[in-house]
Amino acid sequence: MRVFIAEKPALAKVIADALGAGVRKDGYIQCGSDVVTWCVGHILELSPPEAHNPAYAKWNAADLPLKLRPAQYQPKENTAAQFKVVQQLVGQATEIVHAGDPDDEGQLLVDEVLTYCHSTCPVKRVLINDLNTAAAKKALANLRDNREFLGLSQKALARSIGDQLYGFNMTRAYTLAARKKGIEGVLSIGRVQTPILGLIVNRFNAFQNHSAAFFYSLSANIDVTGHRIVPRYQVPEGAPVDDKGRLIDESVANDVATACKGQPATVTASQTEEKSTPAPLPFSLLDLQAHMSKKFGLSAQQTLDLTQSLRENHKAITYNRSDCNYLTSEQFGDAAATLAAITIALPALAESLSEANPAQKGRAFDDKKVSAHTAIIPTTTAPNPTNMTADERQVYQAIATQYLAQFLPEKRYLAASATFAVNGHAFVAKATQTTQDGWTTLLSGAEDSEGESLEEAETTPFAALSALRNNDEGVCESVTVSKEKTKPLPLYTEATLLKDLQRVAKYVKDPKIRQLLKDRDAGKTGEHGGIGTPATRASMLETLQKRGFYTVEKKKLIPTELGLSFIASLPEIATAPDMTALWHEQQQMIEQGSFTVDEFLDALEDFIASQVNNVDLSGMSDGVPQTQSSQRPRLTAVCPKCNGAVVISAKVYACSGCDLKVWGEVASKKLTLPQVETLFSKGKTAVLKGFKSKAGKPFDAKLVLDTATGKVSFEFENKK
């Protein structure tokens, strides 16, 4: 029996459709003698430290560095049932077809399942990056030997185990050191998470410590052929300027103004060009998160959760965790059906939809620029908006609108410019005139997903400027000198931070490491030396905020005293993105076969040992609230995981001896102290009322605390 293992259910369905004669079973699809089953992303996870050594359940500095090799895996709790199906089918297979996504994580995701199941049967590889039947049929005709992709899998494996080793050891080392100083909570450290906090802190410090300087801009008032033109001064080479090319010497500015006043002004260059601007590309997850944060105030995690619901519950959008802004030629073939679905779901867009041309193949449809996934767009299935929450409707409309713009006319405009020579000095004027609004009627003020901006014009009337010709003469009546203050880079909002995480290489000092980060993103649209992934960035921001490292005030990300002093106490290698770059270099060597996973992890363990043995939090005593554990209220019940004391704080009930914690609010319901006491002492509450689902629907359930993992889950009573 040939068993296909897809990365996700949607891909499994496409493969089954391509094979034909599919009959849906429990956890798989029977297609004649073939079977198609699926993972749900990673259905295995690295086992926690206590699985390696029961003593690791209690956080103890004497145990550091933790010994977590060889790596151990366990089925994820929320997908354990599906894993059992996959495991049984792997055991019955005579041949397996690996259908993970065509990237390193997709390769590891299925490979680790096969390793865990001790599979020895031959494995083929199918590469599908487009969820449609035609693409799947083409890929199925070109199966390859899975052994060709061993390097890709090993690369991801090294990163996965490395992140666990680094995160668990560094987090415990710094958390335990902080507790000796009376600092509560978990001081989490991660290869990506901590540099993100470093960016927030560094931007805040730069903003606070900014020392304003002055620069000078000049604009002339020129009368030529009866028209008033206001061109800007072009600063020549050799003039005293700042790092942005702005004039910084007031006396030079005043000398130019004096030299030009009343002097003849001659047009030395003039032109008027027809230009056009295409619609912004469809959304990647990061672009969508930034858009929803800026326009509607939704957090990155909220947007991710909403897209997950739109995809899984409403079947309304394509794969939602994509880092790509492009679509395939095959998807272009579905344009008419997709636009028809939008017409049904969003009648408010009827006017724009009537102008859409489904035969217009814009720049978004480019097979060469598609990665493992395509941009997020609506499906050909029209969802019922009355079944959506208000937030789901907003996200769906944003995705649909961005897609619809691809089929509207380009924005067209005339761009006029003229250069004036005045007593040896050059001034330039620009103006534009829109001739066709095109997609801007739908997306006014939109930004392009690849960072392209529309040409900005100055205040000179277009008609006057476009009428000028070379050698036209006029008079410079005056020159205005404007003294302006430099401004610091603004504090991050979630939207601007998400965008910056795509381009952190620009903050790296070492040119080699900066280039390594850029090389890591080679071929990825929108990413130019970034850290993290669109999906993980959201969860990391949420974790950093929940652990008290920063707050949000009027959309601005403000580091707390804890966040500021924590980053100041850490070595630079932990707070900068350099580690991601260095790992990338070594993981490329692993993929190419010149370096092994064990060699990478051996070196990492040596580095970790040097770090956990040299923790220095002396700087954290300044400005960080020092509340002794003994002064904080505690639960009567002890931690079921390590028997440590459970400290009560405003938002969380956290064990002082390990990482177990229970949030005071679960599914929009605030827990009472007696309810939490019962949960910790008995492992389960009575039926509690007042929970709300992500869709906003109320429900009742018991809370269950897993004493091994510390996870809280719901238990529902059977209603007869």
Mean pLDDT by groups of 10 residues along the chain of 720 residues: 94 94 95 96 94 93 95 94 97 97 92 97 91 85 96 95 96 91 85 93 93 95 92 96 94 98 97 96 94 93 93 89 89 94 94 94 92 88 92 97 97 97 97 96 68 49 93 97 94 91 82 80 64 82 89 92 91 88 89 94 95 85 47 79 80 80 89 90 91 86 84 79
Indicate if 435 and 563 belong to the same structural domain. Answer: no
- What's the pLDDT score for residue 207? 92
End-to-end CA distance of the chain: 41
SS3 labels along 321-385:
CCCCCCECHHHHCCHHHHHHHHHHHCHHHHHHHHHCCCCCCCCCECHHHCCCCCCECECCCCCCH
Containing 233, the helix (H) or strand (E) segment is strand 232-233
Indicate if 239 and 326 belong to the same structural domain. Answer: no
Residue 152 lies in a domain: no
Q: Work out how many domains the chain is built from and give that number.
A: 5
Indicate if 273 and 415 belong to the same structural domain. Answer: yes
- What's the pLDDT score for residue 449? 47
- What's the pLDDT score for residue 459? 60
Among 469, 485, 501, the domain boundary falls at: 485
**pLDDT tens-digit readout, 666-714:** 988 999 988 999 999 999 999 999 998 877 889 999 999 987 777 899 9
The CA-atom distances, in angstroms, between 452 and each of 49, 244, 455, 483 are: 46, 19, 9, 29
- Are 60 and 49 within 8 A, CB to CB? no
For position 234, which CATH number holds? 2.70.20.10
How far apart, in whole angstroms, are the C-alpha atoms of residue 573 and residue 575? Answer: 6
Indicate if 533 and 559 belong to the same structural domain. Answer: yes
Q: Which domain holds residue 666?
A: 629-715
- Listed in sequence order, the residues at least 6 apart from 443 whose beta carbon sits closer than 8 Å to its beta carbon are 279, 280, 401, 402, 405
- pTM for the whole thing? 0.77
- Listed in sequence order, the residues at least 6 apart from 118 whose beta carbon sits closer than 8 Å to its beta carbon are none
Indicate if 611 and 494 belong to the same structural domain. Answer: yes
Indicate if 360 and 323 belong to the same structural domain. Answer: yes
For position 321, which CATH number holds? 1.10.290.10
Indicate if 498 and 609 belong to the same structural domain. Answer: yes
Containing 566, the helix (H) or strand (E) segment is helix 561-569
Residue 720 lies in a domain: no
116 is catalytic: no
Indicate if 687 and 635 belong to the same structural domain. Answer: yes
- Are 548 and 185 within 8 A, CB to CB? yes
Choose the catalytic residue: 56, 174, 216, 319. 319
Among 485, 509, 529, the domain boundary falls at: 485
- What's the pLDDT score for residue 379? 92
Among 360, 375, 407, the domain boundary falls at: 407
- What's the pLDDT score for residue 446? 62
Which residue, 183, 59, 60, is CA-closest to 631?
Answer: 183
CA 297, chain centre distance (Å): 16
- What's the pLDDT score for residue 451? 41
- What's the pLDDT score for residue 345? 95
